[in-house]
Amino acid sequence: MRTILALLMREMSTTYGRSIIGYLWAILEPAAGIMLLTFVFSLALRSPPIGTNFAIFYASGMLPFMAWMSIHQRVATAIRFSKPLLFYPGVTYLDAIVARVLLNAITQLMVFLVVMSGIIVFYDLDMILDIPAIALGLLMTLALATGMGTLNCYLMWVSPTWEKIWGVLTRPLVLLSCVLFTFDTVPQPYQNWLWWNPLVHLVGQTRQGVFATYDATYVSPLYVFGISLITFCLGLIFLNSHYRDMIND
């Protein structure tokens, strides 16, 4: 625990700096994106697909999506970032991963709470939030980001080209994860294809908690947690076998 705490403190100082500016930027970045979406789509549409407020609709999709992106990227580069420290016998690759997961999970939870609360207060919205449903959506986000990030931590070392390929593959995900629209409005057969995207489930679960009238029957937490567990276990197996080669490379 002392090792993880030391790594976590190092992550805080290097990632967000020693001042509050770094954490303010973590909040302002998604807030600016939500404001831009709200402005653009409010000009083109009369009302969002769910509810009457554009900002809360796009926040309910954009925040879990950006949380997944951020945590996944941090976990995928955990060993690369802490490589010099891994030569010490008391520090393992798992310590580096756990430290990054903890710090970024806390940060993204803070961002979610601040941005959502800010929107509700600013627009004076009368919301009935389902806290357990929202918590499940955020837990699905954390699990999927940790699992896929751990596997990519190994794959990006095996093939540096994979990092570039993965970056290209993830660019259209904001359009393919039902962030800007709802899963129910997608026509067949595309709806069946989109169902296999696990990000659709965590976005839908979060929206179900934010909007009391939205019933996301298509969401399968078991599917998301299953993918998370499989990718996490595969990542640990590969890292456990090759991480000495990784830090000596």
pLDDT at 127: 87
Q: Which domain holds residue 117?
A: 2-248
pLDDT at 102: 92
Hey, what are 95's tokens?
A: 């310590």
pLDDT at 22: 65
> Distance of alpha carbon 35 from its chain centroid, rounded?
19
pLDDT at 230: 97
Torsion sign across C-alpha atoms 63, 66, 67, 68: positive
Structural domains in the chain (count) = 1
Residue 220, classified by CB atoms within 10 Å of its CB into exposed (0-12), middle (13-18) or buried (19+), is: middle
Between 131-158 and 160-170, two packed helices, what is the crossing angle to 10 degrees?
Answer: 140
pLDDT at 129: 92
Find the angle CA(67)-CA(73)-CA(74) to the nearest 5 degrees: 90
Is residue 95 a contact partner of residue 83, using CB atoms and an 8 Å limit? no
Distance CA 222, CA 139 (A): 12
pLDDT at 16: 66
pLDDT at 20: 62
Distance CA 229, CA 43 (A): 42
pTM above 0.85, yes or no: yes
Residues of the chain with pLDDT below 50 are: none
pLDDT at 17: 62
